[in-house]
Amino acid sequence: MRKRATLAVAATLLGALAAAPTAHASPVDGPYGQGLDHCTATDTGALTCHFDVAPGTYDVSVTLGGEERGSTAVAGETRRALLAETVTGAGQRVARSFTVDVRDPEGEPTGPAGSPGLDLVIGGGAPSVTALRVTPARAARRLLLVGDSTVCDQPGDPYSGWGQMLPVHLKRGIAVANHADSGESTVSFLANPALFDRVEAAIRPGDPVLIQLAHNDKQTDAATYRANLTTLVERVRARGGEPVLVTPVVRRWFSPDGTLNNGTALLVNGLGVDHPAEIRALAAGLGTPLIDLTALTKRRVEALGPEASKALYLTTEKRDNTHTSVRGATEYAALVAAELRALGIVPDRLLR
């Protein structure tokens, strides 16, 4: 029951972020402090907050709680989940902080520009906040994401990418910079200057770069696919970043025996290219960390079975067995976060 309630709140909060009008903007208060005067209340009790800041990384510190019991979560920018639902008792105060990436455009690289500056929504089951502060975090690490629509910051309900839900697993000091873009393949991500060229320019030494591209490589032959992934890895390394290859999330297509089929579901394209197998082999050959998200999501979907697994995807809402719901993106982000910890890609001190 608690998980269902949390997911419902997440969906409501992300929806509020997409639909809420921009709160009144104020210049940065010196020396970098801002408060709740940057926020306006909505009819639902959530606060929408706007800060006139330039693109960059920013630490956000909030003090949650109040005289009454509260249950508060924070989302930001293009429907990103930034702070998971936090319960506070009557009279209790809890300090939380996280780091957020502010870009232009703020969501998908080829999507709408969004609003300039930093937008936050403080919501949840019973929003309660007594202080808010935003400060520059120029030295913060970034976790950059290269991917497709299953990863990206989806602009509209009911869609959600796992990269959109990943920030809730990170503490202050590291921000998710989600450069994933709908419809992209290894071919197009390299060809479009708005995509990998921008990622490459943003990489700083030590930044992990997670690469999940396969869903749209339907007509990419094996040799080209391997060459493109190798190019991405080598260019990340040339900038001092740490490339991490990620196998794609499965599609929800079952065989009669209750397992996912070996073609569409497990990302074997029309040319017979087994994308997850190619990625696994390439990771071993190039010596890059591997997050086998195909294996992890396959295990989860098959454990739920044909009926219950619909809730992870948009099967009911859109007859879509590829794109994830808020619940699916939330669960898949947790799988990625666990692998970031297990593989030592992000240090424990920066993970929740």
- Looking at residue 219, which CATH number applies to its domain? 3.40.50.1110
- The one-letter amino acid at 165: M
How many structural domains is the chain composed of?
2
Q: Are residues 104 and 134 in the same domain?
A: yes
Last residue of a domain, which of 138, 164, 183? 138
Residue that terminates a domain, selected from 94, 115, 138: 138
Let me know whether 159 and 298 are in one domain. Answer: yes
Clarify whether residues 35 and 178 are in a common domain.
no
What are 21's two structure tokens? 């009008």
What domain range includes position 323? 140-352
For 57, the 3-state DSSP assignment is strand
Using an 8 Å Cβ cutoff, are 190 and 231 in contact?
yes
Are residues 159 and 272 part of one domain?
Answer: yes
> Which of 198, 192, 210, 196 has the alpha carbon at shortest distance from 144?
210
Same domain, 129 and 236: no
Considering the domain architecture, whether residues 185 and 317 belong to the same structural domain is answered as yes
Looking up residue 87, the CATH number of its domain turns out to be 2.60.120.260
Q: Is-contact 249 150, C-beta < 8 A?
A: yes
Look at residues 138, 156, 172 and tell me which one is the last residue of a structural domain. Answer: 138
Residues 180 and 325 in one domain: yes
d(CA 14, CA 17) in angstroms, rounded, equals: 5
Residues 118 and 248 placed together within one structural domain of the fold: no
pLDDT tens digits in sequence order for the chain, 352 residues long:
444 444 544 555 555 554 443 333 333 343 334 588 899 999 888 999 999 999 999 999 999 999 999 999 999 999 999 999 999 999 999 999 999 999 999 999 999 888 899 999 999 999 999 999 999 999 999 999 999 999 999 999 999 999 999 999 999 999 999 999 999 999 999 999 999 999 999 999 999 999 999 999 999 999 999 999 999 999 999 999 999 999 999 999 999 999 999 899 999 999 999 999 999 999 999 999 999 999 999 999 999 999 999 999 999 999 999 999 999 999 999 999 999 999 999 999 999 9
Q: In the sheet where 242-246 sits, what is the strand order?
A: 174-178, 141-147, 208-212, 242-246, 290-291
